[in-house]
Amino acid sequence: MAVLVTGATGFLGAHLALALCDQGVIATGRDRAKLARLKALGLRSVALDLAHPVPAADRDRIGAVDAVVHCAALSSPWGRDAAFETANVTATKNLLHLSRALRARRFVFVSTASVYFQFCDQDGLGEAQTAPKFVNAYARTKYAAEREVLKFNDLHPIVLRPRGIYGAGDTALLPRLMRVARSRAVPRFSPAGATDITHVDDVVSACQRAIAADPVVSGEVFNISGGQGVALPDIVAAACAQCDVPLRWRDLPFGPALAAVRVMERMAKTLPGQPEPPATAYALGILRYRQTMSLAHAQTALGWQPQVNFEEGLRRTFANGAMRQGVL
């Protein structure tokens, strides 16, 4: 089976491409140096910039594929709306047309559980319960991309919504927490938030299940997570302990803290380049509110369930003494 993986020079995409290396995987991305490293490991690699329609010459170089897994995205709590639109919506549209041209029979789109987020406790969320107003441009554009994906019925599309992917090579979730903990006291609210984060190995296995799913499983959306609601203070404390980072807490009232952060966000948008503020409303909301999902649909329709609990996930993440940075 030939599988095209986008974002293979990123965190999840690299893990997935390596897991599929015996199945004729074609790794794509924009970082040619990292693609060369994948090629040295025996993977076919093709440099693609999905911000533009893919030229015929590149289509010919790729050849026919059985499935496409779209991992590439601009994933950040902050940034320019236009950048998110290009990376997450336009790129997905271009890839959908490429997938059709390559005669793919399955399109797996890795979306995000951010489409659910609201400033309130939410437990056991089902796939139909998206937020009435998206918390940021990332969530908005990923949901818009989902809608585009589900229009291409001939590609038997499947959408996966993982929450909080972490593991060796993670450059977002745990590294962000570590940067805050190293530089200043970490805000703590009462009651504290909780979330069901997901080890990258579980997301890879979900992608593999989606690729191999019966064709009748089409046009479906699935929650993917570790299935274990973990309190945010416990996540921070465990990660700091693994990295020998002294942890300092700063207990704050949530309302005034959120109001102050919203002021910082408005100010940042007026500055040249719109730099990311020290904190975002979304980050504070994650620290304060419970956000967990139901996995019943994935368990029933895909036969998938998580295998890596939080304790085991941390062990795998820091198995070499420190979390690896970058790809591979």
Domains of the chain: 3-317 (3.40.50.720)
37, 14 contact by CB (below 8 A): no
Instruction: Report the C-alpha gap between 159 and 69 in whole angstroms.
Output: 10
Instruction: Report the C-alpha gap between 3 and 16 in whole angstroms.
Output: 10
Measuring CA to CA, how many Å separate 63 from each of 9, 67, 279? 20, 12, 45
Please provide the size of the chain in residues.
328
| Secondary structure E strands in the chain | 3-6, 25-29, 44-47, 67-70, 106-110, 122-125, 158-162, 165-166, 186-188, 194-195, 198-199, 220-224, 230-231, 249-251, 290-293
CA dihedral for 284, 288, 167, 209, sign (positive or negative): negative
| pLDDT per residue of the chain (328 residues) written in tens, 0 to 9 | 899 999 999 999 999 999 999 888 999 998 999 999 999 999 999 999 999 999 999 999 999 999 999 999 999 889 999 999 999 999 999 999 999 999 999 999 999 999 999 999 999 999 999 999 999 999 999 999 999 999 999 999 999 999 999 999 888 888 888 888 998 899 999 999 999 999 999 999 999 999 999 999 999 999 999 999 999 999 999 999 988 899 999 999 999 999 999 999 999 999 999 999 988 999 999 999 999 999 999 999 999 999 999 999 999 998 865 444 433 3
pTM for the predicted model, two decimal places: 0.94
Residues paired with 5 in a beta bridge: 27, 69
